[in-house]
């Protein structure tokens, strides 16, 4: 009798869990570094953000991807995020240096709307506490003003700045881009590039945050939001005058461009990171 009752309870539990599983949001296919299912970015903004992420990967080997969705219901963003991370496998196999930034724009507060998933290999430098600070002090202030693009660029820059403090294996060599057709093109492609400028900006802000007295950090948010916003505004304004790419780096071409063919490298995740809201 007890065996029959146990079997019946098992059958009932499976029957009840089936519909709940069917309601889970499907993990989108990974085809680019920025996946926008919520319509939070226009085409130019998406291309520029992909260019920044591609340049970071080319220089460091780390893979950072951004996923924008309307909601993760019925799951909390943490459960949805680890499903995406397991499916996308960002980062290099054995190095596990992938990072996933997720925004669920319409999630209720109980399910959270911001999430950083940190790969196993980056958690020593991109700690849960650092991830939380980036969400709260860097991204959220921009999102509160509906400045989603600025918040994402700022957040990606902060993540990359933290990752650059760790020495990871050198990235695989990339095929050099073709030489510019004329001198004016060459002038646009020179210099340290917009990614280099972003790294200098966020490196300065990070050091300023670390060495600032605790009271000042608590009162100002720790990342110098006002100065960061001003500098980012200047950078993005200048980039807008130059057309499609960031500082001569185009998100649409080359071996690591923002177009199709992007995939994870076999990295693994274990739920490390942080969640937040705005």
- What phi, psi does 35 have (nearest 5°)? -115, 110
Beta strand residue intervals within 95-187, DSSP E: 98-104, 114-119
Band the pLDDT of 225: cuts 50, 70, 90.
very low
The mean pLDDT of 98-106, rounded to a whole number, is 98
* Cβ-contact 66, 101 below 8 angstroms: yes
Q: 235: how many CB neighbours lie within 10 A of its CB?
A: 18
Predicted local confidence at residue 227, as pLDDT:
37
Residues in a beta bridge with 69: 104
Specify the range with the lowest mean pLDDT, choosing from 81-90, 122-131, 212-221.
212-221
Hey, what's the torsion of the CAs at 218, 136, 158, 168, to 10 degrees?
100
* pLDDT > 90? residue 130: yes
- In this structure, the number of other CB atoms found within 10 A of the CB of residue 14 comes to 10
Q: How far is the C-alpha of 88 from the C-alpha of 99, rounded, in Å?
A: 11
Residue 116 near residue 100, CB atoms below 8 Å: yes
Q: Could you tell me which residues come within 8 angstroms of residue 251 by beta carbon, excluding any fewer than 6 positions away?
A: 47, 48, 49, 50, 51, 54, 244, 245, 257, 258, 259
Pairwise CA distance, residues 128 & 157, whole Å:
17
Identify the band that residue 206 occupies on the pLDDT scale cut at 50, 70 and 90: low
Taking the mean position of all CA atoms in its chain, how far away is CA 246? 17
Q: What is the pLDDT of residue 172?
A: 76
* In the predicted structure, residue 10 carries a pLDDT above the cut 80: no
pLDDT above 70 coverage of the chain, percent: 61
Neighbours of 7 (CB within 10 A): 10
> Looking at residue 170, what is its pLDDT?
87
The residues facing 115 across adjacent strands are 102, 275
Q: How confident is the model at residue 221 (pLDDT cuts 50, 70, 90)?
A: very low
Res 171: pLDDT: 85
What is the mean pLDDT of the segment spanning 193-212? 54
Which of these, 153, 160, 147, 139, lies nearest to 49 by C-alpha position?
153
Residue 16 pLDDT > 50: no
- 92 with 120: CB under 8 angstroms? no
Q: Is the pLDDT of residue 13 over 50?
A: yes
Q: Is 52 helix (H, G, I), strand (E, B) or coil?
A: helix
Which tokens belong to 121? 């290999």
The whole-angstrom separation of Cα 229 and Cα 246 is: 18
Quick check: 228 and 201 in contact, CB under 8 A? Answer: yes
Residue 22 has pLDDT above 70, yes or no: no
Percent share of the chain, pLDDT over 90 = 58
Q: Residue 232's pLDDT is what? A: 47
* Average pLDDT, integer, range 9-19: 49
Average pLDDT along the chain: 76
Q: Tell me what pLDDT residue 258 has.
A: 39
- Domains in the chain: ranges and CATH: 34-168+266-276 (3.10.310.50)
pLDDT over threshold 70, residue 114: yes
Closest to 98 in 3D by CA, of 82, 79, 78, 121: 121
26-71 pLDDT, tens digit per residue, is 999 999 999 999 999 999 999 999 999 999 999 999 999 999 999 9
């Amino acid at each position: 009798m007890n065996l029959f009752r146990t079997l019946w309870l098992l059958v009932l539990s499976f029957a009840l869990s089936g519909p709940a599983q069917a309601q889970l949001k499907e993990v989108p296919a990974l085809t680019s570094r920025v996946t926008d299912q919520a319509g939070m970015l226009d085409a130019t903004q998406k291309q520029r953000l992909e260019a920044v992420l591609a340049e970071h990967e080319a220089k460091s080997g780390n893979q950072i991807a951004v996923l924008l969705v309307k909601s993760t219901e019925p799951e909390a963003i943490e459960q949805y995020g680890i499903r995406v991370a397991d499916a996308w496998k960002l980062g290099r196999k054995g190095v596990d240096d992938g990072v996933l930034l997720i925004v669920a724009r319409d999630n209720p507060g109980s399910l959270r709307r911001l999430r950083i998933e940190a790969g196993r290999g980056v958690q020593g430098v991109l700690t849960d506490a650092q991830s939380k600070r980036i969400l709260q002090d860097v991204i959220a202030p921009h999102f509160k003003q509906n400045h989603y693009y600025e918040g994402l660029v700022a957040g990606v820059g902060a993540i990359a700045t933290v990752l650059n403090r760790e020495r990871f294996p050198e990235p695989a060599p990339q095929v050099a881009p073709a030489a510019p057709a004329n001198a004016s093109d060459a002038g646009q492609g020179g210099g340290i590039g917009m990614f280099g400028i972003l790294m200098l900006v966020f490196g300065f802000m990070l050091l300023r945050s670390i060495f600032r007295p605790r009271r000042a950090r608590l009162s100002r948010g720790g990342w110098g939001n006002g100065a960061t916003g001003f500098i980012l505004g200047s950078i993005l304004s200048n980039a807008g005058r130059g057309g499609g790419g960031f500082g001569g780096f185009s998100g649409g071409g080359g071996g690591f461009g923002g177009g199709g063919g992007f995939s994870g490298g076999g990295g693994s995740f274990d739920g490390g990171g942080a969640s937040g809201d705005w």
